[in-house]
């Protein structure tokens, strides 16, 4: 009887091998919004809330370039601001600190392909770089990140592997036999 009770309790207690004790899946990693990613102007935070600086990064992107969601979230705004197309996405990942406002990414100038309230996944096509003028000397996409009223470096969303990954290259396949003719 004692052995049966112990066996029953053992089977009902979650262990690392039972599904109820399995870890929850991790949040998908963030990705560059345009590829290949080439930063034309880096993050340069202002010394004061209204001081000069660059509150995001600029990525080389000619008009028509596909723009992807850097991380999963919900579209907060997709429309015009001061004559430029703007897209804002509130991220679904938890804030960096308990009680902090959620993170929000912005892109401009873009032609949004999604509307307010749309749920998006990291890497999902959400916009195209618009034909309208940008604040860059060269054609670029501005990528910003905020937590409430605080501007953050959007590159901080990316994993180390995403930052150090070399661009893909096609290599010759010398050992593959040619098809018979």
Q: What is the pLDDT of residues 52-78, one digit of tens each?
A: 988 999 999 999 999 999 999 999 999
Predicted local distance difference test score (pLDDT) of residue 138? 81
Q: What is the pLDDT of residues 8-29, one digit of tens each?
A: 333 333 333 333 333 333 455 7
* pLDDT value at 165 more than 70: no
> How far is the C-alpha of 149 from the C-alpha of 52, rounded, in Å?
16
Q: pTM for the full model?
A: 0.73
Bigger pLDDT: 50 or 167? 50
Distance in Å from the first CA to the final CA of the chain: 76
DSSP state of 44: B
Q: What is the pLDDT of residues 90-102, one digit of tens each?
A: 999 766 678 888 9
CB 91 within 8 A of CB 105: yes
* pLDDT value at 148 more than 60: yes
* pLDDT value at 1 more than 80: no
Choice among 8-17, 103-112, 129-138, 169-178 with the minimum mean pLDDT:
8-17
Find the mean pLDDT for residues 150-169.
76
* pLDDT value at 154 more than 90: yes
Closest to 27 in 3D by CA, of 78, 79, 95? 95
**Hey, where are the domains in the chain?**
27-45+54-159
CB 154 within 8 A of CB 57: yes
* pLDDT value at 169 more than 50: yes
Torsion sign over Cα 80, 85, 89, 95: negative
CATH T-level topology, domain 27-45+54-159: Glucose Permease (Domain IIA) (2.70.70)
């Amino acid at each position: 009887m004692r052995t049966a009770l112990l066996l029953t309790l053992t089977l009902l207690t979650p262990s690392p091998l039972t599904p109820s004790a399995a870890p929850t899946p991790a949040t998908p990693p963030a990705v560059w919004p345009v590829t290949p990613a080439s930063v034309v102007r880096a993050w340069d935070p202002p010394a004061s809330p209204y001081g000069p600086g660059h509150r995001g990064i600029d990525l080389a992107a000619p008009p028509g370039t596909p723009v992807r969601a850097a991380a999963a979230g919900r579209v907060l705004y997709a429309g015009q601001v001061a004559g430029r197309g703007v897209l804002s996405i509130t991220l679904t990942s938890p804030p960096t600190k308990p009680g902090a406002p959620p993170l929000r990414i912005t892109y401009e100038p873009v032609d949004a392909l999604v509307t307010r309230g749309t749920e998006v996944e990291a890497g999902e096509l959400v916009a195209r770089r618009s034909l309208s003028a940008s604040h860059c000397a060269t054609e670029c996409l501005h990528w910003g990140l905020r937590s409430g009223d605080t501007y953050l470096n959007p590159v901080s969303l990316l994993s180390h592997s995403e930052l150090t990954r070399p661009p893909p290259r096609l290599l010759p396949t010398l050992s593959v036999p040619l098809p018979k003719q």
